[in-house]
């Protein structure tokens, strides 16, 4: 019986590593990652020899070795993962649950057929079917969620696979196996179905929640864009009205100037010309860049800065046509600008300023924001970006910025120096 269990466990370990390999994006090359997974599979098989062959009757050995195997499995997932956070732990724990299904069903097949070959063959088929089913149904959902840096609450979600695993373990393997309690087979089959359905529902809920957050962020951006357009339209309309009045009165000014020239009243002529110049300057529509959408958002943010008495030093070069999505790009500008305004709006007037450089051409993108700060800035250890102090409903702006940077293969650097906070984004196209 032991060799049957050894082979059954070995098959489970192979599919366990296949699951982890396929559901986690890799930090290392494919060959290196495969070698790490293979090494873990061999170590898991060697430790099986301890609890199944050397000390088959020791419950303590079984528990200790199993705990060691769990730690090794989760360490492997975290070690090979490109992103090392609670989401990786969640998928590693989930992998253990899914492969334990194959092991349980192999035992059930053996109980009913008493044929080891059929049981092992059935185990391989079931493992392969489960892995294929999950790969086709939830892998894309999972990878999309895995790539998002937001990890708040995922430590709690890790409790789901933990309790599923403990329940499987207690019902099917310890302290009594299904061989001793075949009456538990129906219950554990229902439990397997419950787990499969639960995972699909949870991941689909997470996906829908992420979509709703993205829609919310886009709606906020479009609202700002529309308000910016309305503001621009109002400014242009007022400017046109004032210039119409100026053109209507121009003949009167010409007559006045002609009269003053005849009487050599040059000082008065200078005053009239200065007045005309000031009227035209006041009604000039400010154009910060050649990109309409970016110009609209920047205009709105400048108006907000003016209302807060924040001085803004601008260095803006944005082409009319840029090699990135206009709306995503302007969302990044709006988020960075707004974060800087929030940082300085309560400072003394001497410290209430922001230095902004935004260059976006067909070859490269450079964004640099500089502003003074007083409070301690907390940086996320995974992303290197500032963490929001506003709670769970805040911090989406930084997520949006990071997602945009990753999409264009850019880099982000944040640091504090001489009481100034700097955030720099760079990408070469």
User: In the structure, what pLDDT confidence band is assigned to residue 120 with cuts at 50, 70 and 90?
Assistant: confident
Q: How far is CA 306 from CA 170, 311, 324, 344, 420, in A?
A: 65, 7, 29, 13, 21
Bridge partners (DSSP) of residue 26 are 81
51-55, 263-267, 310-314, 357-361: which has the minimum mean pLDDT?
A: 263-267
**C-alpha–C-alpha distance, residues 89 and 78, integer Å:** 7
60-74, 219-233, 241-255: which has the minimum mean pLDDT?
A: 219-233
Residue 204 CA neighbour count, 13 Å, CB half: 8
**C-alpha–C-alpha distance, residues 255 and 271, integer Å:** 15
Phi, psi (rounded to 5 degrees) for 177? -85, 170
Amino acid 150: pLDDT? 59
Whether the per-residue pLDDT at 114 is higher than 70: the answer is yes
Amino acid 224: pLDDT? 61
Amino acid 394: pLDDT? 44
Amino acid 393: pLDDT? 44
Q: How far is CA 203 from CA 3, 94, 199, 209, 335, in A?
A: 37, 12, 6, 10, 28
Number of H helices, E strands in the chain: 13, 5
Amino acid 9: pLDDT? 85
Bridge partners (DSSP) of residue 312 are 354
Amino acid 425: pLDDT? 93
Are 343 and 416 contacting, i.e. CB atoms less than 8 angstroms apart? no
Strands 411-417 and 364-372: unpaired
User: In the structure, what pLDDT confidence band is assigned to residue 427 with cuts at 50, 70 and 90?
Assistant: very high
Instruction: 156-165: list long-range contacts, CB under 8 Å, 24+ apart.
Output: 157/86, 157/90, 157/202, 158/86, 158/89, 158/90, 158/93, 160/198, 160/202, 161/90, 161/93, 161/94, 161/96, 161/97, 162/93, 164/97, 164/195, 164/198, 165/93, 165/96, 165/97, 165/100
Amino acid 396: pLDDT? 62
Model-level pTM greater than 0.85?
no
**C-alpha–C-alpha distance, residues 320 and 120, integer Å:** 64
Q: What strands, in cross-sheet order, belong to the sheet with 364-372?
A: 311-318, 353-360, 364-372, 420-428, 411-417
Are 111 and 182 contacting, i.e. CB atoms less than 8 angstroms apart? yes
Domain boundaries, the chain: 2-180, 229-282, 292-428
Whether the per-residue pLDDT at 43 is higher than 90: the answer is yes
Bridge partners (DSSP) of residue 423 are 369, 414
Whether the per-residue pLDDT at 175 is higher than 90: the answer is no
pLDDT digits (tens, 9 = 90+) for 215-234: 666 666 666 666 666 666 66
What mean pLDDT comes out for the span 93-121?
84
Whether the per-residue pLDDT at 48 is higher than 80: the answer is yes
What mean pLDDT comes out for the span 240-247?
65
> Which of the pair, 361 or 382, is modelled with greater confidence?
361
Are 51 and 62 contacting, i.e. CB atoms less than 8 angstroms apart? yes
**C-alpha–C-alpha distance, residues 92 and 154, integer Å:** 13
**C-alpha–C-alpha distance, residues 377 and 206, integer Å:** 29
Are 81 and 88 contacting, i.e. CB atoms less than 8 angstroms apart? yes
Whether the per-residue pLDDT at 390 is higher than 70: the answer is no
Angle, helices 159-172 vs 86-113, to 10°: value is: 20
User: In the structure, what pLDDT confidence band is assigned to residue 275 with cuts at 50, 70 and 90?
Assistant: confident
Q: What is the DSSP letter of 288?
A: -
Percent over 70 (pLDDT), the chain:
83
Q: Which H or E element spans position 372?
A: strand 364-372
Amino acid 63: pLDDT? 83
Rg of the chain (C-alpha set)? 33
**What CATH number should be reported for the domain whose range is 292-428?**
3.30.565.10
Amino acid 424: pLDDT? 92
Amino acid 392: pLDDT? 46
């Amino acid at each position: 019986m032991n060799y049957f269990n050894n082979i059954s466990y070995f098959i489970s370990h192979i599919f366990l590593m296949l699951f982890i390999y396929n559901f986690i994006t890799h930090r290392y090359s494919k060959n290196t990652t495969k070698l790490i997974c293979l090494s873990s599979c061999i170590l898991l098989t060697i430790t099986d020899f301890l609890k199944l062959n050397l000390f088959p009757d020791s419950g303590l050995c079984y528990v200790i070795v199993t705990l060691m195997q769990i730690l090794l499995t989760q360490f492997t997932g975290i070690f090979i993962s490109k992103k090392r956070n609670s989401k990786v732990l969640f998928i590693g724990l989930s992998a253990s649950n899914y492969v334990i299904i194959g092991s349980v069903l192999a035992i059930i097949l053996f109980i009913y057929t008493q044929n080891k070959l059929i049981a092992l063959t059935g185990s391989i088929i079931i493992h392969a079917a489960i892995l294929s089913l999950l790969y086709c149904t939830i892998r894309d959902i999972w990878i999309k969620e895995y790539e998002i840096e937001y990890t708040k609450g995922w430590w709690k979600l890790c409790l789901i696979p933990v309790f599923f695993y403990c329940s499987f373990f207690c019902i099917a393997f310890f302290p009594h196996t299904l061989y001793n309690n075949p009456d538990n087979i129906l219950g554990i089959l229902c439990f397997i179905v419950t787990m499969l359905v639960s995972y699909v529902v949870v991941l689909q809920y997470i996906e829908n929640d992420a979509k709703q957050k993205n829609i919310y962020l886009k709606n906020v951006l479009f609202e700002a864009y529309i308000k910016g357009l309305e503001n621009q339209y109002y400014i242009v309309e007022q400017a046109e009205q004032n210039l119409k009045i100026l053109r209507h009165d121009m003949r009167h000014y010409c007559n006045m100037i002609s009269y003053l020239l005849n009487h050599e009243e040059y000082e008065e002529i200078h005053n009239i010309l200065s007045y005309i110049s000031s009227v035209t300057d006041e009604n000039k529509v400010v154009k910060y860049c050649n990109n309409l959408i970016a110009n609209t958002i920047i205009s709105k943010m400048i108006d907000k800065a003016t209302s807060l008495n924040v001085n803004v030093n601008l260095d803006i070069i944005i082409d009319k046509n840029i090699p990135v999505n206009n709306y995503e790009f302007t969302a990044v500008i709006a988020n960075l600008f707004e974060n800087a305004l929030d940082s300085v709006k309560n400072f003394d007037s001497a410290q209430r300023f922001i230095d902004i450089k935004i260059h976006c051409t067909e070859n490269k993108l450079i964004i640099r924001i500089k502003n003074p700060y007083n409070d301690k800035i907390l940086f996320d250890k995974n992303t290197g970006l500032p963490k929001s102090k506003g709670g769970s409903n805040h911090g989406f702006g930084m997520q949006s910025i990071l997602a945009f940077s990753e999409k264009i293969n850019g880099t982000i650097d944040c640091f504090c120096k001489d009481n100034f906070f700097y955030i720099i984004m760079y990408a070469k196209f």
